[in-house]
Amino acid sequence: MTRKKSLAAPLLLGVALVAALYAVVLVHAAGESLLAATLLVITGVAAWVYLSPRMYAYRYLFPGIAAAAVFVVFPMLYTISIGFTNHSSRNLLTFERATQYLLDETVDVEGSALQFTLHADGTQFRVRLQDPKAQTSYVSGPLALTNAVPRQLPAEAADVPTAEPVALREVIARQAALKALTFVLPDQRKVRMSGLRQFSSVEALYERRADGTLLNRRTGDVLTPNARTGFYQTSAGTAVQPGYRVGVGFDNYRRIFTEPAFREPFARIFAWTVSFSALTVLFATALGMLLAALFSWEALRFRGAYQVLLFLPYAVPGFISILVFRGLFNNNFGEINLILDALFGIRPAWFSDPTLAKLMLLIVNVWLGYPYMMVVCMGLIRAIPPELYEASAVAGAGPLTNFFRITLPLIIRPLTPLLIAAFAFNFNNFVLISLLTGGRPDFLDTSVPAGTTDLLVSYTYRIAFEDSGQQFGLAAAISTVIFLMVAAISLVQIRFARIAREEAR
Amino acid sequence: MAVVLARSHRWRVLLAHLFLVLLVAAVIFPFLMILSISLRPGNFATGSIIPESISLEHWKLALGFSTIAADGRLVQPTFPVMTWLWNSVKVAALTGLVTLLLSTTAAYAFARMKFRGKQASLTGLMLLQMFPAVLALVAIYAIFDRIGNVFPAFGINSHWALLLAYSGGIALHVWTIKGYFDTIPIEIEEAAKVDGATPWQAFRLVLLPMAVPILMVVFLLAFIGAIIEYPVASILLNEQSQLTLAVGSKLFLYAQRFLWGDFAAAAILSGLPITAVFILAQRWMIAGLTAGGLKG
């Protein structure tokens, strides 16, 4: 068995390496050189790790670490780098792609039109082009016309009497495949489809010049690439679509922190993000701790049943609970408003009033979050030596004294790192905001989409994916700012966790 | 233990019960409500918690059957809930397997081998999981958009892309499994090595069979994590037939088309099994971890 294995492993490795290298070639050919380089590096490291005996331990580590590096670390670094560009729906392409796009723009040469008919030839088709002035015809070879692959094909001067031309709808059905074809006539003229019934000679609109500028053949104007704005511009200074991605340095950060149109919503959303996380942690912990203290009280019966029922919000998938609340809180059809209406005659506008929307978010989030705190606190309270309570009972202390003098001081230290982690989690609680309010109701006085209940993460999401401008660069810059905040919170958390560990010793 | 009870004690117990009952009512209210809504006809609230007439229309629609409405129209299911559930289960099961494969091998190296950068990589893994994927959504979208230009099977709208995006989240699981391996005495593997086993054989034939409980737990945790994941799935998937439950369920509750009853049935249908799996995992987790502790 061992013998067979020693043969199979190198074989498998070889196949995998060849496949990976083939993928690298494919990716590079498709013009994604950054992606190709990344793949090549991973393949190289993999080959090194699995071929060198000195790297034996890393063979076990490599798959996991590589996955974490590629799909967790790399996206973070990539986010940071996007934050320094103008990547958006206006500046979507790479410079090369944008240049190629302009160079591919063609204009029909006037008076060059050839009449075009399509003829069936078995299951395939032949293209027949007729020059109305010279009275000559050209016919292509048989073509399948099933996919739109750009190709150059010869067409020969001949007038093979083929079948009758096919109906126009057949031409329309194969338009994409036909449009991809360029025929080279015997006199080296190149013609392309320019209408349903005609092919024309085409020429490129722009000509690339040695200094990187593009000459417009029609107007004689010169397009210069502008590396600051990410557009080619005419001599008059107008930008020409499509734009391309360029580095803009700290421009995005400048916008976030100095331009009032961005600074204002950022400051308000930051303030709400902090208060939302802090209040959630405060209320959820208070409720969870109270319940844990109650459940440690032996005089209370049915504790097990209460515990199971009160644990439920934690076990049900969050996205379902949140959507259930979205329906229950609905202004018009929601059951909560039906009950409030029947009892007090009020119908609060949970989704359109900013204060009520925030209140609703807190209620739902405390509902979702207290069971975790309850379970954690129960564990911590169980670890408190019972002698302490016996001593305090002898001294005649009541339950409140017990709680504030014994329970709370003893569990707050080990609890602090968890509270900070909960704060960090809610700081980035995208799912709750996205599924419950979507950030709405929106501020009315901002140019970017920003809502009164938006957290910083949902704000970046809206800038990147919901706004028509798709300002990926700006969104990535805000994400980078959040990275720094999360890192700061984590540092504090690690510090407190260390203190808690050292005290436990 | 003879303790003299004050008269106020009984009042306190009563108060505590009152508080707990009210709280349980508040916690259970949404669950009862959603059950009632799923069983009553129509998509609008009628105001009674116990439905006056029971209708199974929402359940039929959620299961993918068409129903006949009150006015005789044939009502087709608005959304392919079963397809979404299948998509979710498929992606989550594969994610669980891949996570297991990647994190078990890494945990073995961390628990049993000596190599340079061990402590640093362990700490690095711990730090990693503090930064949620939601912060890198822009980059994740851009990366898979670009990959899709070359390999459409791994681009936007592909479940493979989602699987790849999830496969990086192994940090916590590596720590969990390593913790369990640490409790298993190394002598058994060393005995196997004395008998001529390679490290790989010691790992696969000796250590892994002993670690089955923790592998189950990690699989279930990764499975649940993938099923309830929303942000990454919401940007990578946008074709209706490709959505997972977490992304698709949202579509029921738009202001213009508020399919409350249909949502309720779909929510119970998909929520119940996931909740059951979670409670199971929770129980196994405690059992698995204590079993490991006893051995050590």
Is there a contact between B230 and A65 if contact means CB atoms under 8 Å apart?
A: no
pLDDT band at B2 (very low <50, low <70, confident <90, very high): very low
User: Residue B286: what pLDDT?
Assistant: 60
- Asked if A115 and A69 sit in the same domain, the reply is no
Helix (H) or strand (E) holding A186: none
Is there a contact between B17 and A300 if contact means CB atoms under 8 Å apart?
A: yes
- Asked if A392 and A493 sit in the same domain, the reply is yes
Those of residues 118-157 in A touching chain B at CB distance below 8 A are none
With tokens 């088709």, the residue in question is A125
Residue A424's closest CA among B135, B117, B190? B135
Is there a contact between B139 and A76 if contact means CB atoms under 8 Å apart?
A: yes
Q: Residue A290 and residue A378: Cα distance in Å, rounded? A: 10
Instruction: Give B4: exposed, middle or buried? Use CB within 10 Å, 0-12, 13-18, 19+.
Output: exposed
Closest-CA residue in chain B for A490? B130
User: Residue A302: what pLDDT?
Assistant: 87
Q: Residue B121 and residue B113: Cα distance in Å, rounded? A: 13
Interchain contact A372–B (C-beta under 8 A):
no
How high is the ipTM of this complex? 0.89
Our CA angle for B209, B212, B216, nearest 5°, is 155
- Determine which of A135-144, A425-434, B203-212, B266-275 has the lowest per-residue pLDDT on average: A135-144
Residue A214 counted as domain residue: no
- Asked if A380 and A444 sit in the same domain, the reply is yes
Q: How far is CA A98 from CA A15, A102, B284, in A?
A: 37, 6, 56
Q: Residue A129 and residue A137: Cα distance in Å, rounded? A: 6
- Asked if A262 and A152 sit in the same domain, the reply is no
Is there a contact between A76 and B234 if contact means CB atoms under 8 Å apart?
A: no
Q: How far does A191 lie from chain B, in Å, by closest CA?
A: 29
Contact A464, A472 (CB under 8 A): yes
Residue A137 counted as domain residue: yes
- Asked if A477 and A374 sit in the same domain, the reply is yes
CATH number at residue A28: 1.20.58.370
List the single best residue of B110, B127, B128, B135 to mutate versus A (max A Cβ within 10 A): B135
- A11-48 pLDDT, tens digit per residue, is 888 898 899 899 888 888 877 777 788 889 989 998 88
Q: Is the peptide bond before B132 cis (omega within 30 degrees of 0)?
A: no
pLDDT band at B162 (very low <50, low <70, confident <90, very high): very high
- B215-247 pLDDT, tens digit per residue, is 888 898 899 899 999 999 999 998 888 999 999
Is there a contact between A57 and B134 if contact means CB atoms under 8 Å apart?
A: no
With tokens 């709680």, the residue in question is A403
Cβ-based contacts of A319 with chain B (< 8 Å): 228, 230, 245-246, 249-250
Domain boundary among A82, A114, A137: A82
Angle between helices B171-183 and B81-112 in degrees, nearest 10: 50
Residue A234 counted as domain residue: no
Contact A218, A206 (CB under 8 A): no
Q: How far does A412 lie from chain B, in Å, by closest CA?
A: 22
Nearest to B24 among A310, A316, A430 (CB): A310
pLDDT band at B5 (very low <50, low <70, confident <90, very high): low
Q: Residue A221 and residue A368: Cα distance in Å, rounded? A: 63
Instruction: Give A176: exposed, middle or buried? Use CB within 10 Å, 0-12, 13-18, 19+.
Output: exposed
Three-state secondary structure string covering A377-444? HHHHHHCCCHHHHHHHHHCCCCHHHHHHHHHHHHHHHHHHHHHHHHHHHHHCCHHHHHHHCCCCCECC
- A97-111 pLDDT, tens digit per residue, is 888 888 888 787 777
CB atoms near residue B148 (< 10 Å): 17
User: Residue B68: what pLDDT?
Assistant: 74
Q: What is the mean pLDDT of residues B190-215?
A: 88
List the single best residue of A324, A402, A460, A480 to mutate versus B (max B Cβ within 10 A): A324
Residue A274 counted as domain residue: yes
Residue B153: partners with Cβ closer than 8 Å, 6 or more residues away: B160
Our CA angle for A244, A245, A250, nearest 5°, is 140
Residue A344 counted as domain residue: yes
pLDDT at B294 over 60: no
Report the SS3 class of residue A340: helix
pLDDT band at B39 (very low <50, low <70, confident <90, very high): confident
CATH number at residue A169: 2.40.430.10
pLDDT band at A473 (very low <50, low <70, confident <90, very high): very high
Residue A129's closest CA among A160, A108, A151? A160
Residue A238 counted as domain residue: no
Domain boundary among A82, A98, A114: A82
Count up the domains in chain A and report the number.
3
Is there a contact between A79 and B136 if contact means CB atoms under 8 Å apart?
A: yes
Contact B108, B207 (CB under 8 A): yes
- Asked if A275 and A386 sit in the same domain, the reply is yes
Residue A245 counted as domain residue: no
Q: Which residue range is the domain that position A9 belongs to? A: 2-82
Domain boundary among A39, A67, A82: A82
User: Residue B8: what pLDDT?
Assistant: 74
Residue A216 bridge partners (DSSP):
A206
Cβ-based contacts of B109 with chain A (< 8 Å): 57-58, 60-61
Is there a contact between A465 and B235 if contact means CB atoms under 8 Å apart?
A: yes
Three-state secondary structure string covering chain B? CCCCCCHHHHHHHHHHHHHHHHHHHHHHHHHHHHHHHHHCCCCCCCCCCCCCCCCCHHHHHHCCCCEECCCCCEECCCCCHHHHHHHHHHHHHHHHHHHHHHHHHHHHHHHHCCCCCHHHHHHHHHHHCCCCHHHHHHHHHHHHHHHHHHCHHHCCCCHHHHHHHHHCCCHHHHHHHHHHHHHCCCHHHHHHHHCCCCHHHHHHHHHHHHCHHHHHHHHHHHHHHHHCCCHHHHHHCCCHHHCCHHHHHHHHEECCEECHHHHHHHHHHHHHHHHHHHHHHHHHHHHHHHHHHHHC
Residue A480's closest CA among A88, A67, A84, A69? A84
Closest-CA residue in chain B for A62? B106
Contact A183, A155 (CB under 8 A): yes
Is there a contact between B138 and A434 if contact means CB atoms under 8 Å apart?
A: no
Q: How far is CA A419 from the centre of its chain?
A: 28
Residue A88 counted as domain residue: no
Q: Residue A299 and residue B1: Cα distance in Å, rounded? A: 12
- Asked if A132 and A59 sit in the same domain, the reply is no
Q: Residue B33 and residue A327: Cα distance in Å, rounded? A: 11
Contact A416, A470 (CB under 8 A): no
Interchain contact A457–B (C-beta under 8 A):
yes
Most confident listed range (A121-130, A296-305, A388-397, B223-232): B223-232
pLDDT at A4 over 70: no
CATH number at residue A307: 1.10.3720.10
A298-318: b or e for each residue (b if 16 or more CB lie within 10 Å)?
A: eeeeeeeebbebbbbbbbbbb
User: Residue B21: what pLDDT?
Assistant: 94
pLDDT at B76 over 90: no
- Asked if A274 and A377 sit in the same domain, the reply is yes
Tell me the pLDDT of chain A averaged across its residues. 86
Q: Residue A394 and residue B264: Cα distance in Å, rounded? A: 54
Closest-CA residue in chain B for A29? B150
User: Residue B285: what pLDDT?
Assistant: 65
Interchain contact A389–B (C-beta under 8 A):
no
With tokens 């994590």, the residue in question is B225
Is there a contact between A323 and B252 if contact means CB atoms under 8 Å apart?
A: yes
Is there a contact between B105 and A317 if contact means CB atoms under 8 Å apart?
A: no
Q: Residue A179 and residue A123: Cα distance in Å, rounded? A: 20
Contact A242, A92 (CB under 8 A): yes
- Asked if A59 and A112 sit in the same domain, the reply is no
Report DSSP state, residue A54: G
Interchain contact A283–B (C-beta under 8 A):
no
- Asked if A266 and A371 sit in the same domain, the reply is yes
Q: Residue B287 and residue B290: Cα distance in Å, rounded? A: 5
Nearest to A490 among B102, B130, B167 (CB): B130
Interface A-B, measured as beta-carbon pairs within 8 A, has a size of 237
User: Residue B99: what pLDDT?
Assistant: 94
pLDDT band at B292 (very low <50, low <70, confident <90, very high): very low
- Determine which of A164-178, A250-264, A454-468 has the lowest per-residue pLDDT on average: A164-178
- B239-274 pLDDT, tens digit per residue, is 888 999 999 988 888 767 778 888 899 899 888 988
Radius of gyration of chain A (CA): 34
Is there a contact between A63 and B101 if contact means CB atoms under 8 Å apart?
A: yes
Cβ-based contacts of A455 with chain B (< 8 Å): none
User: Residue B48: what pLDDT?
Assistant: 61
Q: Residue A91 and residue A261: Cα distance in Å, rounded? A: 21
pLDDT at B102 over 60: yes
Nearest to A313 among B27, B115, B142 (CB): B27
Interchain contact A30–B (C-beta under 8 A):
yes
- Asked if A49 and A193 sit in the same domain, the reply is no
List the single best residue of B99, B138, B236 to mutate versus A (max A Cβ within 10 A): B138
Whole-structure pTM value: 0.83
pLDDT at A330 over 70: yes
- Asked if A297 and A195 sit in the same domain, the reply is no
User: Residue B46: what pLDDT?
Assistant: 58
- Determine which of A210-214, A249-253, A307-311, B5-9 has the lowest per-residue pLDDT on average: B5-9
User: Residue A369: what pLDDT?
Assistant: 93
